[in-house]
Every structure is written in C-alpha cells, then in structure tokens.
Chain A
Amino acid sequence: MNAPEPKDAFKVVGTRPIRPDGVDKVTGKAIFGTDYKAANMLAGAIVRCPHPHARIKSIDTSKAEAVAGVKAVVTGADFPSVEDTIVRMGETSASTVDMAQNVMARDVAYYDGHPVAAVAAISQEAADEAAALIVVEYEQLPYHIDINESFKLDAPAINPNLKATGLAEGEKVSPNVTTKFPYAKGDADAALAGAAATVTAHYTLKPVHQGYIEPHACVVSWKPDGKIDIWCSSQGAFNIRGLTASFLHVDIGSIRVMPLEIGGGFGGKNSVYLEPVAALLSKKSGRPVRLLMSRSDVFRASGPAPGAEIDVTLGADAQGNLVGAKVEFVYSAGAFRGTDAMPGVMHAICHYKVPDFSLIGWEVLTNMPKHAAYRAPGAPQVNFAVECALNELADKLGIDPIEIRLKNAVGPGDPGMMGAPLGNVGLIECLEAAKAHPHYTAPLGEGQARAVACGSWMNYGGPSTASVSLAEDGSVLVATGSPDIGGSRASMAIMASETLGVPYEQINVVVADTSSVGFSMVTGGSRTTYATGIAVIDAANAVIDICKQRAAKMLDVDVSTIEWIDGEAVETGNGKRLSLRQIAEKSGATGGPISFEKGVSPLQHLPGYSAQICDVEVDRETGNVSVVRYTVVQDVGRAIHPAYVEGQMQGGAVQGIGWALNEAYIYNKDGRLDNAGFLDYRIPVASDMPMIDTVMIEKANPGHPYGVKGVGEVPIVPPLAAVATAVGNAIGKRMRDLPISPERVYAALNEG
C-alpha cells in the first residue's frame, strides 16, 4: 500500500461533505443509549455503596421485594463466579475477575459508588423506592484515596489477593502496587552527571473524568430461548458482547448487541458497567430491563483517568541536546488493576532523542472507581511533567522552547521507544510550523504569557470488519462494526466513494449490530479511520472486481478487457460503459446479489505528534486564568474529512485545558466523592474557550491506501504542560500541581 502523493490525486478524500448522521443528530431524531425503549420494559435502579471500602456483611432485600411493582432483585450472589482470565479490552487486556467485581460487588465494596444490588420494577419510581429499602450491613475497612498513602510499604492492603507484576525477585513494595514497569537504556545517572544543565522537579495531578455528556444506559432482554438482546451506546458493541458473555457464563453467539448513537466516550465507554446487571434482572423478571446512570453515578462509578505523582530529571548539554532523563511516576489505578503504567512509560520521552534514560512507572490501587482509558491513556500525565521540565531546561540554557525541541525531536528512521525505526512521522514539521505560525510571535497583552508543549501517541490498528454491498438500484451500502463517535460514517463513505468512483451521496453507511457484521475492536485508540477504513477500502475493491466480472458477462467479453473508471465498467477498445446501477439491476442474471465482507488486522499505523501554543491571561486579584489564544499543530497523516480532524484537534486540546485548569476528583474526609456533578466538577464550555486554531501537517502514512494516521488522542497530550508553563510565565512561579485553580494561582501570587 502506498498513499499517493501529491494530495490532488484524490477526488473525494480531503473534502468536507455533510456527515450522513448529521441531520438526525441536529434534529433530535437520533436514538442514543438513554433514548431507547423496548415494549413491556421494566425500569431498573442500582444500590451503590456509600463507603470507600467496606465488607458486605449482609444484604436484606425482603422489604424491596415487597414493594408493589417490583419484579426482580439481584445482588453479587446472583452472578456466576468468574475465573481470573484475561480478555481483550480495547487494545489491551483486563482481568475478568476485576471487571466482574466492578460491575457488582461480591463480598467487598471497594469505593463510594460501587454497585451492591439492583432492582427492576414496573416504574422508575417503584424501582427507586425499592432500592432505597434494601438494607446492606457494612463493616467499614481502611481506605486510601491518596496515592502516596497507598504507595507506602506498610499501607493497609486494599485487596489482599492482589499480585503485582513487573517486580524484581524479592522486591519489597506496598501491598497496593499492581504494576511496576521499568524501562532503561544506557546509564542515566552518569549522563545526567555530565550534563551542562539539569532540571529536577516533582509534579502532581488528580484523577479526572472523561466528561462525556451522555450517561451510561442500556436496555437488555434475556429471552426465553436463552438469547440475550442488548441495546446500548458504547465504543464497541463487540466488547460489550464479549465481556457480558464472560461475566454471565453464556456463549458469545447467544448475545446480540445493537449499537445506539453515542454521546461521547473518550475511552470511558470501552468498558461494561450496566449490561450484565440488566441482563440478570431481565432473566429473573422475564421482561426487558432498562438501566440508566445518573450524572452522579457516572462520576462515582465509571472510570476517571489516573491521578499521578511524578518525578522528573532532564539533562542537556550547553547547546540544548538532551543527554539523559530519569522519570519515575506513580499512577492511581482505582479499585482494580489498571493498564496505564506501560503507555505512560512508553510516551514519557518517546518524541525526543535521549541517549540514556531510566523510566519507571508504578500503579497502585486506590479506593476510587476502576480507572478507565481517557484519550491517550497514561500519556498526558507524564507528558505534563516532562514537557514542563523541558521548558524549564530551555529557560535555564537560554534557548527558545521550540528550538530546544527541534534539536531533540525524533524524525523518520530514528529508533522508536522499542527500538524499531520510526516511519514517516512529522514532529519536526509540526515544530517548524508552530515556529512559523503568526501566533508564536504575536504581541502579548498585559497579564498575558505564552508557552509551548509537544506530545505524542502511538495510535493503533487491529481487527475490523466491513461489508460493502450494492442495492438493486446501484446505491452502495457500507456496514461496519465501529460505532461512530467522531464522524466515522462520513470518513467511511468518503473512502468508499473514492475507491468505487461513485458520488459520496450514493454511499450509505450503517453501524451494524454484532450479529450482522464480523468482529471489530472498539472505536478507540485512534484506530477506526485507519483500520476500519482499510476494511472498507478492501471490501470496495473486491466489489469492483465482482462488478468487472459481471460486466464482462453482460458484455459477453473476457474480464481482462474490462477496466473500472469513475464508477463504471468500461470495455477497453470500444469504450462501452456499464454503470453500477446497470450492473446491480442485472445481478440476478449474472450470479446473484453483489456484496463483499472483509476482515483485516492492520498494524502499519504510525504515531501522531502535536505541538501546541498557548496564551493565558492571569487575573492577579482573583487568580483566575483565561486561555486567550490557542493553536494546535498536528501530524495527522492524510485528513480524510478535514473538518472532523480539526474537530478532534480542538476537542482534545479543550479537554487538556480543562485538565490543566479546572478538573479534579475531590474526595471528602470520609472517602466520598464531593463533586459528582457538572456544577462542582467543571469541564470547559464553549464560552470559556477562544477559537482553537488548527494547523494540519499532512504527512501520509504509507501503510494506508489513503495515508491515514490516527488523530483523536494526541491533541490532549500537550495542553497540560502548555497551560501550566504559560501560567508560570505569567506569574513568575512554576506551576507543578494540577489543576491550576484560582486559589492555587492566588496562593502562588501571594506567598512569600
């Protein structure tokens, strides 16, 4: 595969047509997870533990069962035991024991909000009334919200059965350590000892939520024949199917998941929370059951991204060339094992050439909800620390912050973190574009300051399936198993249109249910336009081959004389043409309906890079920080639909700005979440933000027919350091603890 150069080789790729699902979404016709209703459906309610850590001594459901209209009650005792096996989960894996216990506590509840029982009744009012009557007797246990407390050698164990991975033989650590991920090259200490300048600092971040607007919701029907239908929104219907089957000990094929429209996920809807509970309630009641999280439930019980404690030392020679780095961080995992330590280590310094380094990532349990992926999971936290330290190092050496990055940036052919040479990557072009951008040299107003930061994300490919078929009139139907979160219907239609040579409007894209198309991994990891796109292109090319064979039959010539030009079969020599419509209309007489389904598992994805410029203005009387100008420059590969690529860049940057300035999980002294709602957990809204400028660096990926790279995750990586450094520049103090709330800025301005 080789993406054509130059870009004008394309007819449809790179254009900005209206998204196929746009009208439904702006007119309120689209059916999201919270909208779906089934006939004869019951309403469900979940009882959640009010303590951060407690043994469940008893659960009395008798009063709840006596409430008029109650049809079923379940607790942990109703769930099958789950063997500790590893299952596919996004691009990584997770223990089913952990996830099953997260769905419904068994003997121990591990966090404020952990489900302990559930009810289904004929009305929401009856379900809520019954849930309130379930009596749970708890024995409260020691708990840890703070990472440092949990990380202590003598800390009480949150889960005595936990076995840490990655430890050296005989290594003594806290009983709450889940993972140690060390990775080193050369002698970092010696390299740093010989550096012309070094910076050593400690950084902290709190857990933050993905902040999707649509709460988790599902309707599940366990039918008398043992088949289970699930209607829900998620980042991956096949993930919901596989995990639910695993928790309930049923065959995967007996579950059919119907994907509904999704109102945001950002990694937080790769997992399963409600579906197995609703399934058991449905099995007991014999009726479909709907479960819906409140906003408070979403915050208390679905995954935030890890908080972190991070130590960084960077060293450079007098010219600004990095000579060594030491990074050690501890991420909170929540109540169950996490997966962010490894990507944290792999993204700490991977965008720079550092000859000698020592990187150590730890994860520890804390009594919070099980942490979940959030856009470039594990990367923003450690990148915040490294990029802030690099800005400090540039200041120390008197070197421009973009210049020091250009001196050290990786380029094509440089070894990646795992040693394999990087492909056609564009960090250097991003930095050069940022340096040349008018924003970088624009005058600043009073109280304003500027900073830059970079970041990277590996991206991914993996398994996807797509089918392409022709209707009788020649219109094209594309079905994928990839939920449309960021405009993938449009990008799939564009790629099918480009391949087939038919107008975009002639392509109809659906997100199929799990029984109607082959397996696809989640829409996440910045993989869908790349991997599912290849499946669509391959299936479309196969349909072209079929059409050429059918045209040859219709024209009574050898297929070798047929070419495919602009969406038509053309007989070479005499120029006779047959349109898709003509071929489709006669398909019954030439061999039957025309369709092709293609499964792929490509891994020739390339990492994405971003350089960002941030201007802030600090109100010295209140400590309030306003972002007044922001520019995102990103290596995006080929932008299939540029408007949606720009949207990803803007959305990622805004979420990163929110992480830097506003967002944090706040627990009270009793270990309960104190800000479980959007009034107290403040995500940025449009009126908080300037227009986010975007500059797309289109450096094509040769591993995709149209040059696609993943774009959704890397834009959230740099903003934390860009904002923190800009605020620090504005007030003359380094800001190393997020969020940079007004009281922190005010304190920094007024401390001695």
Chain B
Amino acid sequence: MRVIVMPPFDREFFGGTDRFEITGRTLFGVVNRLEELGPGFADLADVRAAFAVDGVVQADWSVPLEGVQEVVVMQKVAGG
C-alpha cells in the first residue's frame, strides 16, 4: 500500500521523505508503522493528521484496509 505523507509531516517527522510502501490492516497499523519511521508522529497523528484512504477521508482508523491502494496523510485544516 502506498502511503503519501503531505507537508509539513514529511519534513517534520520523516526527513523530507514523502512516500512509503507500508502494510497495515487498519490505519492504526499504518500509524504504528509510520511511528517506527518517524518517532513522535503517532502521538500527534490523531490531533493533527487526517487520512484519505483511496481518496476518501476516513475518520474511523479501525476500518480494514484490505485492497486499498493509497493512503494520504495530510494536516487537518482549521476553521473559524
């Protein structure tokens, strides 16, 4: 599964690398794997990150990712 990490997380946690091949049964698994690659990411992920799974923003991290091609990790957008 391709995981694309959008700014600012790519530079903040992954040394500027923004693409990974990761296996994970759920987004919890993806976040755990990203934590191994970029320590500190998991602590902030639920507060600062949103996840698009094959183009659809997914709030439930426990949804199975079987057959998923791509997860995009992006920053949540603030609102007023």
Contact = CB atoms under 8 A, between A and B. Distances in A.
Interface string A367-378: 000000111111
A93 B11 contact: no
A182 B6 CA distance: 10
Contacts of A373: 78-80
Contacts of B16: 168-169
B48 A419 contact: no
Contact of A603 (B48, B59, B79): B59
A604 B56 CA distance: 8
Interface in B51-68: 52, 55-60
Q: How large is the interface on B (under 10, 10 to 19, 20 to 34, 35 or more residues)?
A: 20 to 34
Contacts of A420: 52, 55-57, 72
B39 interface: no
The 3 nearest A-B residue pairs measured at CB: A525-B79, A267-B80, A373-B80
A467 interface: no
Contacts of A91: 76-79
Interface of A: 86-88, 90-93, 165-169, 179-183, 210, 265-268, 270, 339-340, 342-343, 346, 373-378, 418-421, 457-462, 524-527, 601-604, 710, 713
Given A93-B47, A93-B48, A526 B8 contact: no
Nearest to B73: A418
Contacts of B72: 418-420
Contact of B47 (A88, A375, A604): A88
Contacts of B1: none
Contacts of B76: 91-93, 460
B7 A92 contact: no
A416 to B, nearest CB: 9
A276 to B, nearest CB: 20
21 contacts: A90-B79, A91-B77, A91-B79, A92-B76, A93-B47, A168-B11, A180-B8, A342-B8, A343-B78, A373-B78, A376-B80, A377-B80, A420-B56, A457-B79, A459-B79, A460-B77, A461-B59, A525-B80, A603-B58, A604-B57, A713-B79
Contact of B79 (A183, A342, A460): A460
A342 B77 contact: yes
A526 B76 CA distance: 14
Contacts of B4: 419
Contacts of B80: 90, 210, 265-268, 270, 373-377, 524-525, 713
A525 B4 CA distance: 25
Nearest to A270: B80
Contacts of B57: 420, 603-604
